[in-house]
């Protein structure tokens, strides 16, 4: 139960509703317990009439009518309070589920990129849905059923003992066996359902990946292979489900068997006691009803135990992530406005998860108002430079400075909000184009959105769509071309109007004319900003104030376009090659 203590703060938050629920549960049970007593009384009245103890039929009819009305009344009240009980306790569990999901989601968002590299998306999703669901079963149904059982047991068993102690012992003897059996079954059910769950996760991940990569699957014509892989996975999943169904199938027969044994004992022992004149006939009827009333709650003890165990295991998995601290910490709380001067000082960086040294002794400096271009072969470390400036990873002491201060001594929120980052793979949300651009500035006006789109040379394309800026992208909307996506992503960075603009090879899918147009627009808007453009194309780099050439994480050349063309080396070769390609 240690892990589940995490929920105590939520129980405290909803204590009013919870206490109300518990009181109502007790009241509901007490009302439902009155029924058997009045059924027993009614049977006794009829018995007395048959025996001749009562001779007036009118008295019998009157007694029966009163009893029926009381039974009806208490049943209606019990039903009403049961309704209130579910309203109170189950609603609390839904509130806790909501709060817990939000807490986990907020924590996910706090965590750094490295966390996402180490954990699979399916696992993250499972913990926020499946695990939370199991925990909810503890916060709601487990608490509700436990209260019901305890109340029922205390009231019913004390009353039964008071009425007929020996008969009570016989009647409840099979119940502990039932409870233990249900518990054992629940443990097996739990084990098997965990396996079923794992297969479900695998199936979901496989399906999700197949649909995301459907273009590749179709292009390579491997539908039949993916089909058979899916069938194999689905077959194993089905087998695991059947294994589970087999144990679940035992549950009710076992309950019926033990109820049957209890009923037989009541009839046999009770019958004997009635013959001996120790109890009246009504008590046997009453006891039969009580035994049947007790069976389900007692079976539930086993079920609840296993439910709590599952919730504990799920909460443990949730806590693992909740306790995780982001590897990138914001160490500064006061505001640190950013001007945009960037200095790399002999910076060497190794990715912690792969041990790949992506940058070696890199030194350069860019001032506000300047544009730096980074060129180099693929895998040479260009994107890594941009990731470090965005502080997606940390570097050792003072190797990376912004405004002459170690980046770690700047407020992380200020650093991130001063950066407009256009990644290599433009990611657009399944939302309207307008909202995708406004992602960079939530309260932007329509005019600002249009101005940013114009700067990114994508306005004309958007106007061409029948729904213009309202066009929905993604799964249920249209698909933009690679170049259009890149430009919407650029507009998103421009609208933010940040101090630092980082473009990671984001003009690769646009034609050279549009590239030129965008670069000219960028020159206009980036007068006092620091701009870094990563590119494979000389055309994107040539107007930059400084150009650095990377090879295997090291700077092998640097200077202006003219400087670099005057020297033999990578840059000049690349220029010649691209010039040739253009002429061809």
Least gap, CB of 356 to ligand ATP (angstroms): 4
- Based on the shown chain and the rule CB under 6 A, indicate whether residue 354 belongs to the binding site for ligand ATP: yes
Main-chain phi, psi angles of 404, to 5 degrees: 60, 20
Identify which of residues 21 and 553 has a Cβ nearer to ligand ATP in the complex.
553
Distance CA 429, CA 434 (A): 11
Identify which of residues 55 and 354 has a Cβ nearer to ligand ATP in the complex.
354
Distance CA 182, CA 306 (A): 9
Distance CA 98, CA 104 (A): 10
Least gap, CB of 421 to ligand ATP (angstroms): 13
Main-chain phi, psi angles of 195, to 5 degrees: -65, -40
Least gap, CB of 120 to ligand ATP (angstroms): 15
Identify which of residues 326 and 379 has a Cβ nearer to ligand ATP in the complex.
379
Identify which of residues 75 and 112 has a Cβ nearer to ligand ATP in the complex.
112
Give the single-character DSSP code of 508.
T
Least gap, CB of 553 to ligand ATP (angstroms): 7
Least gap, CB of 481 to ligand ATP (angstroms): 20
Q: What DSSP assignment string belongs to 43-67?
A: HHHHHHHHHTS---HHHHHHHHHHH
**Only segment of 51-59, 145-153, 264-272, 354-362 that touches ligand ATP (CB under 6 A):** 354-362
Contacting ligand ATP (CB under 6 A), which of 358, 456, 494, 574? 358
Least gap, CB of 538 to ligand ATP (angstroms): 15
- Tell me which residues in 375-394 interact with ligand ATP (CB under 6 A): 376, 378-384
- Tell me which residues in 61-100 interact with ligand ATP (CB under 6 A): none
Least gap, CB of 215 to ligand ATP (angstroms): 21
Least gap, CB of 379 to ligand ATP (angstroms): 4
Distance CA 259, CA 145 (A): 19
Identify which of residues 381 and 420 has a Cβ nearer to ligand ATP in the complex.
381
Quick one: tokens of 415?
A: 């650093």
Q: Does the CA dihedral 287-291-292-294 come out positive or negative?
A: positive
Q: With contact defined as beta carbons under 8 Å apart, do 528 and 366 qualify?
A: no
**Only segment of 62-70, 234-242, 374-382, 568-576 that touches ligand ATP (CB under 6 A):** 374-382
**Only segment of 198-206, 302-310, 371-379, 565-573 that touches ligand ATP (CB under 6 A):** 371-379
Identify which of residues 382 and 434 has a Cβ nearer to ligand ATP in the complex.
382
Name residue 421's beta-bridge partners: 502
Least gap, CB of 83 to ligand ATP (angstroms): 54
Least gap, CB of 185 to ligand ATP (angstroms): 46
- Tell me which residues in 526-545 interact with ligand ATP (CB under 6 A): none
Name residue 126's beta-bridge partners: none
SS (H, E, C) 348-360: EEECCCCCCEEEE
Least gap, CB of 197 to ligand ATP (angstroms): 30
Q: Kind and range of the H or E element at 391? A: none
Least gap, CB of 394 to ligand ATP (angstroms): 13
Identify which of residues 258 and 358 has a Cβ nearer to ligand ATP in the complex.
358
Give the single-character DSSP code of 473.
B
Quick one: tokens of 142?
A: 């487990």
For residue 394, which of 316, 330, 469 has the smallest C-alpha distance? 330
Identify which of residues 117 and 235 has a Cβ nearer to ligand ATP in the complex.
117
Contacting ligand ATP (CB under 6 A), which of 154, 214, 257, 356? 356
Residue holding tokens 């068993």? 157
Identify which of residues 69 and 356 has a Cβ nearer to ligand ATP in the complex.
356
Distance CA 501, CA 86 (A): 55
Quick one: tokens of 449?
A: 């959105």
Identify which of residues 134 and 382 has a Cβ nearer to ligand ATP in the complex.
382
Identify which of residues 281 and 575 has a Cβ nearer to ligand ATP in the complex.
575
- Tell me which residues in 293-352 interact with ligand ATP (CB under 6 A): 351
Identify which of residues 367 and 424 has a Cβ nearer to ligand ATP in the complex.
424
Query: Which residues are within 8 A (CB) of 40 and not within 5 positions of it... i.e. 6 or more apart?
Result: 282, 283, 285, 286
Binding-site size, ligand ATP (CB under 6 A):
14
Least gap, CB of 370 to ligand ATP (angstroms): 21
Identify which of residues 177 and 356 has a Cβ nearer to ligand ATP in the complex.
356
Q: HSE, CB side, 13 Å, CA atoms: give it for residue 179.
A: 14
Quick one: tokens of 222?
A: 């491997």
- Tell me which residues in 407-436 interact with ligand ATP (CB under 6 A): 424
Number of neighbouring beta carbons within 10 Å of residue 148: 20
Q: Does the CA dihedral 424-420-333-397 come out positive or negative?
A: positive
Q: With contact defined as beta carbons under 8 Å apart, do 145 and 301 qualify?
A: no
Distance CA 549, CA 543 (A): 15
Q: With contact defined as beta carbons under 8 Å apart, do 480 and 456 qualify?
A: no
**Only segment of 218-226, 353-361, 447-455, 458-466 that touches ligand ATP (CB under 6 A):** 353-361
Query: Which residues are within 8 A (CB) of 142 and not within 5 positions of it... i.e. 6 or more apart?
Result: 304, 307, 308, 311
Question: Which chain residues interact with ligand ATP by CB under 6 A?
Answer: 351, 353-354, 356, 358, 376, 378-384, 424
């Amino acid at each position: 139960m240690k892990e589940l203590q995490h929920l105590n703060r939520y129980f405290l938050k909803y204590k009013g509703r919870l206490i109300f629920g518990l009181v109502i549960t007790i009241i509901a049970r007490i009302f439902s317990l009155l029924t058997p007593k009045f059924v027993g009384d009614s049977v006794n009245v009829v018995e007395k009439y048959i025996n001749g103890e009562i001779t007036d039929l009118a008295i019998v009819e009157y007694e029966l009518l009163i009893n029926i009305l009381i039974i009806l009344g208490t049943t209606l009240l019990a039903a009403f309070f049961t309704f209130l009980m579910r309203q109170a306790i189950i609603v609390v569990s839904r509130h806790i589920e909501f709060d817990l999901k939000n807490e986990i989601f907020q924590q996910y968002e706090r965590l750094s990129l490295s966390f996402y590299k180490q954990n699979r998306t399916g696992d993250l999703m499972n913990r926020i849905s499946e695990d939370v669901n199991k925990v909810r079963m503890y916060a709601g149904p487990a608490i509700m059923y436990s209260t019901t059982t305890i109340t029922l047991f205390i009231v019913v068993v004390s009353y039964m003992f008071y009425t007929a102690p020996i008969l009570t012992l016989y009647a409840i003897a099979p119940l502990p066996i039932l409870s233990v059996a249900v518990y054992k079954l629940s443990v097996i059910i739990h084990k098997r359902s965990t396996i079923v769950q794992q297969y479900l996760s695998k199936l979901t991940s496989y399906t999700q990946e197949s649909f995301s990569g459907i273009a590749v699957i179709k292009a390579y014509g491997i539908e039949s292979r993916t089909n058979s892989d899916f069938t194999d996975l689905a077959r194993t999943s089905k087998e695991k489900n059947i294994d589970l169904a087999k144990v679940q199938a035992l549950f009710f027969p076992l309950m019926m068997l033990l109820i049957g044994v209890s009923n037989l004992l009541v009839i046999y022992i009770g019958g004997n006691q009635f013959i001996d004149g120790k109890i009246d006939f009504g008590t046997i009827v009453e006891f039969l009803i009580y035994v049947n009333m007790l069976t389900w709650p007692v079976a539930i003890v086993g079920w609840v135990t296993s439910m709590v165990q599952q919730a504990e295991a799920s909460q443990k998995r949730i806590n693992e992530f909740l306790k995780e601290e982001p590897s990138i910490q914001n160490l500064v709380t006061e505001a640190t406005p950013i001007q945009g001067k960037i200095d790399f000082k002999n910076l060497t960086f190794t990715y912690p998860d792969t041990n790949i040294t992506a940058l070696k002794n890199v030194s350069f400096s860019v001032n506000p108002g300047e544009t730096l271009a980074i060129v180099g072969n693929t895998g040479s470390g260009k994107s890594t430079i941009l990731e470090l400036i965005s502080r997606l990873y940390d570097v050792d002491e003072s190797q990376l400075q912004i405004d002459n201060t170690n980046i770690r001594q700047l407020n992380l929120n200020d650093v991130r909000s001063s950066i407009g980052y256009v990644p290599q793979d433009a990611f657009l949300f399944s939302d309207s184009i307008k909202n995708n651009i406004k992602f960079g500035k939530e309260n932007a006006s329509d005019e600002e959105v249009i101005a940013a789109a114009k700067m990114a040379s994508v306005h004309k394309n958007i106007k061409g769509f029948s729904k213009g800026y309202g066009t929905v992208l993604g799964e249920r909307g249209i698909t933009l071309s690679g170049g259009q996506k890149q430009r919407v992503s650029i507009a998103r960075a421009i609208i933010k109007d940040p101090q630092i603009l980082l473009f990671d090879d984001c003009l690769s899918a646009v034609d050279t004319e549009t590239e030129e147009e965008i670069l000219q627009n960028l020159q206009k808007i980036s007068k006092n900003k620091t701009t870094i453009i990563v590119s494979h194309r000389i055309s994107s780099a040539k107007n930059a104030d400084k150009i650095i050439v990377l090879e295997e994480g090291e700077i092998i050349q640097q200077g202006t376009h003219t400087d670099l063309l005057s020297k033999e080396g990578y840059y000049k070769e690349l220029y010649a090659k691209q010039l040739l390609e253009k002429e061809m």
